[in-house]
Amino acid sequence: MIIDIFCKVIDNYGDIGVCWRLTRELTDLNKSVNLYVDDLNAFKKINNSINPDKEVQNINYNNKTIHVIHWNKTNKEYSPGDMVIEAFACNLDKNCTEQLTEKNIWINLEYLSAENWVEDCHQLPSLQNNNLKKYFFFPGFTEKTGGLNFNTFLKQYDKNVCRQIVLNYLKLSSDLGNKFWFFLFCYENTNIKTLLEQILKHHPEGVLLLPESLISNYLHVNNIIEDIKQKYPKATFIEFSMIPQEYFDIIIKSTDLNIVRGEDSITQAILAGVPFIWHIYEQEENVHIEKLKAMIEKFEKFLPEETKEIYKDTLICFNEKNISNNILCAKFDDFMLEYTKISEATSKWSAYLYSNKSLGTNLIRFYENLTKTRKS
């Protein structure tokens, strides 16, 4: 079975992050994958083996070969695979769609959403101009969706193992191993200083892991790190450049709290079973807040009743603008006071999600079922 995945990099590294993760999982499931990417420079940021100057290259992964093709207007000769996946409605070029036939299963892989309506739209066909059907496929948090991108090898590692790997990889002192670790990878946010201060209020010797990103630049430009260091001199700030996706995942599982953005990062933060705060991508008319509430609703089933409102208020406040500092302090402080209960709930949610099928497995199952139906 040959699978083509098309990726257009729009928002930093989230698009290619999801696609590369899915490519690796499908390869682990013994499928041959061709990954078409329009921005190889962005891809190289999360995969050091990529050569941005090569139009076609073979990447070795777990002793298997993944074909990476620079997707551009010069891709004249295209021979489609058994399954063709457009990631996030990236729209195939005409010279690609003209080669598709009824033998190819054409998928529009949608963005992750916890909203209930995606269950009704998942796997629905859409008739295209060439009279072929393109099927909507929605990742999600329930059995009625396409599931999530699993990092299967990471499931067998516990936090302590991951933490030791991070200590070695980043060449950190072993003395930091027993501190409270928190990871920051979000968009620019005026509420971030208050959140960081409340975390350190409860863990004044905490360790902040800060990768190269928009938020790291924001913290320096606004002298936030310097201000916090003066207030909490025993805290440790570990800054590092962009790293391969595999180590990014290990860092997320090594921490005690993850503050993350985007689809790929939040998925791995949830699966890690570690408390998390999601900085969701801002949309007009506060549409993103409704999406955030939908995710919280799925998670609340695992939270104690007395903690649900605290968790919800914390995430919404972090994603809102023009919230008074007093309110932010109170909400973030409540979150840290409820940390143990939140930690237990995230561990339970992670176990539940792992008990469902993964995104890659569900895609293959859909292909097999649809192929059988067509033959009959």
The token pair at 234 is 């025993």
pLDDT digits (tens, 9 = 90+) for 53-95: 999 999 999 899 999 999 986 566 889 999 999 999 898 988 8
Q: Are the C-beta atoms of 35 and 22 separated by less than 8 Å?
A: no
Instruction: Write down the pTM of the prediction.
Output: 0.91
Positions annotated as catalytic residues are: 15, 263
pLDDT digits (tens, 9 = 90+) for 331-372: 999 999 999 999 999 999 999 999 888 999 999 999 999 998
How many whole angstroms from its chain centre is CA 345? 20
pLDDT digits (tens, 9 = 90+) for 128-167: 988 899 999 999 999 999 999 887 777 788 999 999 999 9
**First vs last C-alpha separation in the chain:** 20
- The whole-number pLDDT of residue 130 equals 86
What average pLDDT does range 157-186 have in this prediction?
A: 95
The token pair at 372 is 């059988």
Q: Which of 318, 319, 298, 322 is nearest to 308 (CA)?
A: 298
Query: Cα(129)–Cα(17) distance, rounded to whole angstroms?
Result: 30
pLDDT band at 376 (very low <50, low <70, confident <90, very high): low
What CA–CA distances, in Å, run from 16 to 69, 108, 240, 374? 13, 15, 20, 32
Query: Cα(149)–Cα(359) distance, rounded to whole angstroms?
Result: 5
What average pLDDT does range 253-267 have in this prediction?
A: 94
